[in-house]
Amino acid sequence: MRRITLWLFSTVAALVLLVSYRTSTNGAAAATPVAEAPLTTATEPPVASPAPSAAPPSAAPSSAARTYTGSVAQTRWGPVQVTITVSGGRITEVAVPVYPNGNHRDQEINAYALPVLRQETLAAQGAAIDTVSGATVTSDGYVESLQAALDAAHL
């Protein structure tokens, strides 16, 4: 009788611990804006501001810096959004105002991956960049939003 009671109690305790265990995907839907970029929400539509004026084909590209915001790419770990600054027909700055940051693992991965993706974008001057190993989902969302910003910039 003692063994059965002890076994039953141990089984119940193990099940309670198993059910109450929190995985790293628990906070996957949360997204935190980067402090260096202006705050945007995931409910805002993609915006290209200010809109570039239509120039004749023979005119040289404007050297005024313009900022373009890509659409919010929904990934399984949370939304990703990219903002680019274009000057003289070249990407001069890349920011990621919205990215998954719901738990420590997301913070760790994106602290490494986002600067790499930013440098790749500036070097490639387009969306034809490699994904970051270990951050494939975020990388795919980044490329999707980046392509929307490039489309808005007509690059």
Instruction: Assess if residue 4 is contained within a domain.
Output: no
Per-residue pLDDT band at 29 (split at 50, 70, 90): very low
Per-residue pLDDT band at 23 (split at 50, 70, 90): low
- 100, 27 Cβ separation under 8 angstroms: no
| Residue 150 confidence (pLDDT) | 93
Instruction: Assess if residue 139 is contained within a domain.
Output: yes
Q: How far apart are CA 69 and CA 56, in angstroms?
A: 25
pLDDT tens for 66-75 read 999 999 999 9
Instruction: Assess if residue 84 is contained within a domain.
Output: yes
| Token pair of 37 as six digits | 């970029």
Instruction: Assess if residue 46 is contained within a domain.
Output: yes
Instruction: Assess if residue 1 is contained within a domain.
Output: no
pLDDT tens for 77-133 read 899 999 999 998 899 999 999 998 888 898 899 999 999 999 999 999 998 999 899
- pTM here is 0.60
| Residue 3 confidence (pLDDT) | 86
Q: How far apart are CA 25 and CA 30, in angstroms?
A: 10
Instruction: Assess if residue 3 is contained within a domain.
Output: no
Per-residue pLDDT band at 63 (split at 50, 70, 90): low
Q: Which class for 7: exposed (0-12), middle (13-18), buried (19 or more C-beta within 10 A)?
A: exposed
In CATH, what number is assigned to the domain containing residue 78? Answer: 3.90.1010
Per the prediction, the chain carries an average pLDDT of 78
Q: How many domains does the chain have?
A: 1
Q: How far apart are CA 9 and CA 16, in angstroms?
A: 11
| Residue 24 confidence (pLDDT) | 53
pLDDT of residue 65 exceeding 50, the answer is yes
Instruction: Assess if residue 112 is contained within a domain.
Output: yes
Percent over 90 (pLDDT), the chain: 44
Instruction: Assess if residue 37 is contained within a domain.
Output: yes
Which of 70 and 32 is assigned the larger pLDDT? 70
Domain that residue 90 falls in: 26-53+60-153
